Amino acid sequence: MPYYILLINWREQGIIKIKDSSDRYNSFKASVEKAGGKLIGGYYTFGEYDVVIIIEAPNDETVMSLMLKVGSAGNVRTKTLRAFSAEEGFKIIKDLS
């Protein structure tokens, strides 16, 4: 299954309700699992992004649906990256002509 890196920043509503963030995280984890994916890890960070989450999901459409649901709640703004494992990257590079 493909991996995705979710780069997250708090919006004003999300930071005001920061104490609810563990509930929102657990709800997101359940949504990922219900969609057939797996939450690999979540990390609070400082710098350009406030939170980084790594998930495994069946396809891009599933991730887009999850991110639209998250974004529509108004607590965070997200950027999503499709990630390739080193092995997948090596195969892509090897197959270059």
What domains are there in the chain, each with its CATH number? 3-94 (3.30.70.920)
The tens-digit pLDDT sequence of the chain (97 residues) is 999 999 999 999 999 999 999 999 999 999 999 999 999 999 999 999 999 999 999 999 999 999 999 999 999 999 999 999 999 999 999 999 7
Strand 76-83's sheet: what is its strand order? 38-44, 51-56, 3-10, 76-83
- DSSP run (H or E) holding 49: none
pLDDT at residue 97, rounded to an integer: 75
pLDDT at residue 44, rounded to an integer: 97
If you write DSSP's letter for every residue of 67-97 in order, what string do you get? Answer: HHHHHHTTSEEEEEEEE--HHHHHHHHHT--
pLDDT at residue 79, rounded to an integer: 97
Q: What is the pTM of this model?
A: 0.91
